[in-house]
């Protein structure tokens, strides 16, 4: 699943987690918005989600994840698995075109409509058109810096925005 027009990066480092997203929204080859917020806090500000894909679909999935979190008392792992199961098996949800990263104080997951709930090995994950560039930059910084998670995602997103035409340098960062 590949999405143009978004870069989301999540990093866990030094006991903190940060999730960043760029603000650019494109329609075909035209930039139509520069300051979209693709990273949000949900479930009493205890979970951060970042999403790539169709905006309405991503917001729908974010709301559904929050309902699962309420049902399972904030258990992100269980909620992510249940959302992915519903997403894959429900006739309506299967058509949604989005991908999500969800982070709490202990976990980080990529959740997709293919039924994926993936936890990264190294505490970092990037999705969207500039996701690989942002993730590579963050990985290099994790090895060679004393920066904290928020500083790493900020700098890595700047690098991604300089490489990916579908990513801008208007960055939203949320930190736990």
How far apart CA 84 and CA 89 sit, in angstroms, is 9
Name the average pLDDT for the chain. 88
pTM assigned to the model: 0.90
| 30 belongs to the catalytic site | no
Q: 7-165 is classed in which CATH architecture?
A: 4-Layer Sandwich (3.60)
What per-residue confidence (pLDDT) applies to 16? 95
pLDDT in tens, 53-100: 777 777 888 888 999 999 999 999 999 999 988 887 777 766 777 788
| Domain map (residue ranges) of the chain | 7-165
Is 130 a residue whose pLDDT tops 50?
yes
Out of 6, 7, 167, 172, pick the active-site residue.
6
């Amino acid at each position: 699943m590949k999405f143009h027009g978004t870069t989301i990066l999540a990093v866990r480092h030094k006991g903190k987690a940060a999730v960043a997203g760029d603000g650019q929204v494109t329609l075909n080859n035209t930039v139509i918005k520069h300051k979209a917020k693709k990273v949000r806090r949900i479930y009493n500000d205890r979970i951060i989600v970042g999403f790539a894909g169709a905006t309405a679909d991503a917001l729908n999935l974010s709301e559904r994840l929050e309902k699962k979190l309420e049902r399972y008392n904030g258990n992100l792992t269980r909620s992510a698995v249940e959302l992915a199961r519903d997403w894959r098996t429900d006739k309506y949800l299967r058509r949604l075109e989005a991908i999500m990263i969800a982070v709490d104080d202990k976990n980080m997951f990529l959740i997709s409509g293919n039924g994926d709930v993936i936890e990264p090995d190294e505490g970092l994950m990037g999705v969207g058109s500039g996701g690989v560039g942002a993730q590579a930059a963050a990985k290099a910084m994790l090895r060679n810096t004393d920066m904290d998670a928020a500083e790493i995602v900020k700098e890595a997103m700047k690098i991604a925005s300089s490489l990916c035409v579908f990513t801008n340098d208007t960055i939203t960062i949320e930190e736990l």
